[in-house]
Structure 1
Amino acid sequence: MQRFHLTATGYNLNYLPEYIALRHGFFREQGLDVTVTIPKPWDGVLDDLADGTADLALGGIWVPSMYRDRVKNYTVFAQIANRSPLALVKRGPREGFTLTDVVGSTVLMKSGGGASVGLFFKMLLRENGIDPKSVDYVQDLDGVMLGNLFQGGMGDYFVTDNLSAQAMAERNSKVSVAMEMVSEGDVPWSVYYRETVPLTPKQLDAQKRFLVALNKGIDWVLQHDAESFRNELADLFPDVPLDVVVGVTNTFRREGMWTSTSVPRKGFERWQRGLADARFVKEPYPYEAIVDEAPTAAQ
C-alpha cells in the first residue's frame, strides 16, 4: 500500500466525494493509503507541499493563480467542487428577494478560511451589473463570530457556506436563506494542486490512481440520494442538524456541485476574470498555465 498524503484548507461538505472514497475504501482499491491533515492556519498547506509532507493540497484555485510568477508556481491537477458552496442569508423571509436588494446594504462575509467568499460574491455582483462598491462589507472575521454578530443585529446580509446558512435558518426563524450560490454557474471552487515540478513516473501513476478513486466517490454520491446514506452524513457532520445536511447534500447533487475531476475550461476562465477584476492577478491566466490535464486525461 502506497502512502498518499493530502493537506486541506478545511473540512467542508463540498469535499464529500473524497470523504466517501475514504470511508468506502475506494483509495485502498487503488493501492493508496490516503491520509489527510488540516493545518491551522489554513495556509500551512503551502508549507506541507514545500517540505514534502503532502502529495497534494486541496483548496481554492485562487491560491495557485495569485502565487504564480510572484512567489512560487503551483500546478492544478483536478477539481472536486464544481460550484460555489456559499449562500446569502437575510433578515426576514426570502420571498421577493433579488440580488439588487443588497445595494446600499452592509454584507458580512466570513474570511477565516481565505479570500474565496469575498471574491465570489463580488464577482457575482459584477456579473449581474451591480457595482461591488455600492455595498459595504465586514469581512475580516471568522464565520462563527460573524454569524453570531449578524443574528445579534450587525449588518443586513451574511455570506457563509450553505450548510451553516441552512442550519442558522433552521434555528432562527427571523432569518432566511435568500440565495444558494450553487445554482450560480460553474467555477472550479476546490481543486488539488502541488508545486510545479517535474513528476516522476511513480508520482504521476499515484495521482492517476488517486483520481480514479475520487471519480468513483463522485459517481457514488451522484447515484445515491442523500436520504439513503443519512447515517454516514451524521457521522461526517455531527454538529449540524441531520435534515439540513441531507437537504444541502441533495441540493448540491442536483445543482452540479460534483461532476468529475476535470477542471472545466469555461468555469476556469470565468474565475480567472473574477480574480483579475479583484486585482488578485494582473490578467487572466490561460488554462494551460495553471492546469495539467495529464492525470485526468489518462483515466
Structure 2
Amino acid sequence: MAINGAIQPASDAEKKQVLQPFHLTATGYNLNYLPEYIALRHGFFREQGLDVTVNIPTPWDGVLDALADNSAIMALGGIWVPSMYRDRVQHYTVFAQIANRCPLAVLKRGSSEGFKLTDMAKSTVLMKSGGGASVGLFFKMLLRENNIDPRAVDYVQDLDGIMLGNLFQGGMGDYFITDNLSALAMVARNPNVSIAMEMVAQGDIPWSVYYRETATITPEILDAQKRFCIGLEKGIDWVLEHDAESFRDELAELFPSVPADVAVSVTNDFRNNKMWTSTSVDPQGFARWQQGLADAGLVKEPFAYKSIVDDAPAAAAQAAVKAAKQVK
C-alpha cells in the first residue's frame, strides 16, 4: 500500500501472511515523511506483519479524535501537541521520530545574496499556519536564539499557505515562510523570488513524531510499535543509502504536483542535512524544542525527555535492524 503513489503488488508470501491492522492518522502529507512512504511502498511494514494504513483528517487536529475513539493506533505530527496537552488535557507518549530537522524555507523577493537573519527585523513575514503552530513556533525560536526580538517582526499567519504564497508573489509582505518543497517549486516558476534560508540547516529538532494516549499503551501496543519502528528504520536507511536521482520515478509518483527535479533536489538536501537520522528522538533536539515551546508560552517550563518520550520501541528496532545487517 502507498499514499498518493503506486500500490505495489503483494508477493505470494505476503498474500498468505496474516497481517495485523495498524492504522495511522497523520496531520499532513509531506516530503519530510518520505521514509514512511518508502517503507509502505517497499513492504518493510509488511515484513513485520503490519498492514499499515493512513488517513489525513481535515482539519488536522482530527488526529486527536482518532486516538480518542481508538480508530487509529497512533498519530503522526508535531511534538508540540503532546507537550502542550500534558498536565492540561491529555497525556500522550511519543515513541518514535521521523523528521529530525525543520523542513521550512524563507523566501524573499529578488536575490538572496548577502541575506542575514537580522535583515528580517522590522519586516512583514507571511507564514502559513493551516497545519498547526509549528511554523511560527520554530521561526520565532530561531529569532530568539539569534538575539532578535520576535516582536520586531510583523506577522501575517492566519491564512492558507497557497493564498499567502499568491499574495506574497503579488507584493504582500517582505518574506514568506513555507515548506521547503513548495518554496523550491515557487522559485522554479517565479524568477523574481529566491530562497534566503533553508531551515533544514538550522540544527536538530524533533519536528515530526509518532504518539499515542499514554493510558492506552499495552504490551501488545508496544510490540506493534517496535515492529513499526523496524519498518520505519529500514525506510530511513533505504532513503539515506540511495541518491534521490536513482528513485526519481517514485518521487514523481508520490508528489505528482511537484516538478521531479525539485523533488529530487529537496530529497537530497534533506538527506545531506540530517532530516532523517533514526527513529529515536534526539535528547538534545528535544531539549532545544522544549525551551522554544516554553519561551512561546505553550508549556510552563520545559518537560524532561522521559516524561514524554518512551524510546524503548525505537531503540529495540534499531538493535534488531543492526543485528539483521550483521547476519547478512
Distance (Å, rounded) in 2 between the aligned partners of 1:129 and 1:283 = 20
Equivalence map 1:110-125=2 (5 Å) = 110-125=128-143
Q: Could you tell me which of 239, 251, 257 is aligned with 1:239?
A: 257
Deviations 1:157-205 (A, max 9, x none): 0000000001001100110000000000000000000001153222111
Deviation at 1:297, TM superposition (A): 2.2
SS at match of 1:77: strand
1:60 aligns with 2:74: no
Partner-residue secondary structure (3-state), 1:246: helix
Task: Give the 5 Å matches for 1:79-228.
Answer: 79-197=97-215, 199-228=217-246
Counterpart in the other structure of 1:44? 62
Alpha-carbon offset, residue 121 of structure 1: 0.3
Q: CA RMSD in A?
A: 0.6
Instruction: Tell me the TM-score normalized by structure 1.
Output: 0.99
Shift, 1:298, TM fit:
1.9
Distance 2:49 2:199 in 1: 37
Q: 1:236-282 deviations in whole A, cap 9, x for unaligned?
A: 00001110000000000000000000000000000000000000001
Structure 2 gaps, min length 5: 1-18, 318-328
Higher radius of gyration, 1 or 2: 2
Distance 2:257 2:315 in 1: 38
> In 1, Cα distance between the equivalents of 2:82 and 2:114?
39
Length, aligned pairs only: 299
1: distance between equivalents of 2:52 and 2:190?
39
Q: Which residue of structure 1 lines up, in the alignment, with residue 16 of structure 2?
A: none
- Mapped pair 1:6 → 2:19: no
Cα offsets for 1:102-144 (capped at 9, x unmatched): 0110000000000000000000000011100010000001110
CA–CA distance in structure 2, aligned partners of residues 11 and 203 of structure 1: 24
- The residue type paired with residue 264 of structure 1 is D
- Counterpart-to-counterpart distance in 1, 2:133 and 2:236: 26
* 1:285 partnered with 2:303: yes
- TM-score scaled by length of structure 2: 0.90
CA–CA separation in structure 2 for the residues paired with 1:93 and 1:195: 47
Identity %: 77
Q: Deviations over 1:189-243 (max 9, x none)?
A: 0000000115322211111000000000000000000000000000000001110
- 2: CA distance, partners of 1:156 / 1:269: 31
The reply on whether 1:22 has 2:40 as its aligned counterpart is yes
Distance 1:250 1:294 in 2: 30
- Provide the rounded CA distance (Å) in 2 between the counterparts of 1:226 and 1:297: 27
